[in-house]
């Protein structure tokens, strides 16, 4: 199948699901109004002024010779992102704070025993940042093919004198269909999915942990759907601020 046809199928699936979820939650009149707002927001976001603003996040790229900015994503992928979750990379200062304060200090995680998984990994910035810690393996799952290809190129071209993990893998897949590795896990989430999708992912993870008991830590950046994780009885919140929440599985 040609890449453009695959993109069209993804786009129509994303739109259908977005519409179905919206109608179930708020009815078709409100969903039509929300659709018009999304298109308006997308067009506004395409103006040269807005694009210039997004170039504000390129310091990481200059430093490491990669392309993780959200400023130069094609209009097709940005439109798809509007109905999934728009690509936006995690800020390096916040990421390293999460690693040092929550993961290593509060949760006392020994990274060398854990696999790091970012669901909705975009251009792979978090994968590169996680490579500064001695994880056993690092995996990124991204549904938009353009972003996935850029992540692969970034992994190949990353320059850092302090890299500690070299086993990095980028997977192009829908997070809802992803089967988690059976090793101890650090799951990173930066709003990759709407509520129904996140519920499905957490259900998959809960089943995986029940079948293959192991320590699991979830780091949730910008926790807009925190209530969905709160409903997972096997998870316990261990820390957080308005910018993130941290969890681990009970009994660990």
Output the smallest distance, CB 122 to ligand SAM, in A: 3
Q: Which residues bind ligand SAM (CB under 6 A)?
A: 81, 84-85, 87-90, 118, 120-122, 125-126, 141-144, 147, 174-176, 190-193, 197
Q: Which C-beta is closer to ligand SAM: that of 35 or that of 250?
A: 35
Output the smallest distance, CB 90 to ligand SAM, in A: 4
Q: Which C-beta is closer to ligand SAM: that of 198 or that of 216?
A: 198
CA distance 150 to 2: 18
Per-residue DSSP letter, 101: I
Whether the Cβ atoms of residue 185 and residue 217 lie closer than 8 Å to each other: yes
Q: Which C-beta is closer to ligand SAM: that of 194 or that of 252?
A: 194
Q: Is 68 helix (H, G, I), strand (E, B) or coil?
A: coil
Output the smallest distance, CB 89 to ligand SAM, in A: 4
Question: Sheet holding 216-221: strands in order across?
Answer: 168-172, 137-142, 115-119, 185-190, 216-221, 244-249, 235-240
CA distance 148 to 136: 21
Output the smallest distance, CB 213 to ligand SAM, in A: 26
CA distance 127 to 193: 18
Phi, psi of 18 (to 5 degrees): -60, -45
**What is the number of helices (H) and of strands (E) in the chain?**
9, 7
- Sequence-ordered strand ranges (E) for 11-106: none
What residue is closest to ligand SAM based on CB? 120
Output the smallest distance, CB 74 to ligand SAM, in A: 12
Q: Which C-beta is closer to ligand SAM: that of 63 or that of 233?
A: 63
Whether the Cβ atoms of residue 94 and residue 244 lie closer than 8 Å to each other: yes
Phi, psi of 98 (to 5 degrees): -60, -45
CA distance 161 to 157: 13
Output the smallest distance, CB 251 to ligand SAM, in A: 28
Whether the Cβ atoms of residue 143 and residue 175 lie closer than 8 Å to each other: yes
Q: Which C-beta is closer to ligand SAM: that of 66 or that of 251?
A: 66
Q: Which C-beta is closer to ligand SAM: that of 31 or that of 121?
A: 121
Q: Which C-beta is closer to ligand SAM: that of 18 or that of 236?
A: 18
Output the smallest distance, CB 206 to ligand SAM, in A: 18
């Amino acid at each position: 199948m040609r890449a453009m046809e695959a993109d069209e199928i993804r786009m129509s699936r994303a739109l259908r699901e977005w519409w179905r979820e919206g109608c179930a939650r708020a009815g078709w009149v409100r969903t039509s109004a929300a659709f018009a707002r999304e298109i308006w927001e997308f067009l506004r976001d395409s103006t040269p002024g807005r694009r210039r603003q997004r170039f504000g996040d390129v310091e990481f790229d200059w430093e490491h010779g990669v392309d993780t900015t959200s400023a130069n994503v094609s209009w097709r992928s940005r439109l798809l992102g509007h109905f999934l979750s728009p690509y936006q990379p995690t800020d390096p200062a916040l990421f390293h704070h999460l690693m040092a304060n929550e993961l290593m200090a509060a949760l006392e995680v020994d990274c060398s025993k854990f696999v790091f998984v970012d669901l909705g990994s975009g251009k792979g910035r978090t994968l590169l940042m996680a490579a500064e810690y001695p994880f056993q393996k690092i995996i990124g799952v991204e549904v938009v093919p353009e972003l996935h290809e850029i992540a692969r190129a970034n992994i190949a071209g990353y320059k850092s004198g302090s890299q500690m993990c070299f086993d990095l893998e980028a997977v192009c897949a829908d997070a809802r269909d992803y089967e988690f590795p059976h090793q101890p896990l650090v799951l990173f989430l930066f709003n990759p999915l709407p509520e129904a999708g996140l519920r499905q992912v957490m259900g998959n993870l809960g089943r995986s942990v029940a079948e293959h008991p192991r320590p699991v830590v979830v780091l949730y950046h910008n926790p807009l759907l925190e209530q969905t994780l709160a409903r997972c009885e096997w998870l316990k919140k261990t820390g957080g601020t308005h910018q993130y929440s941290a969890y681990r599985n009970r009994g660990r």
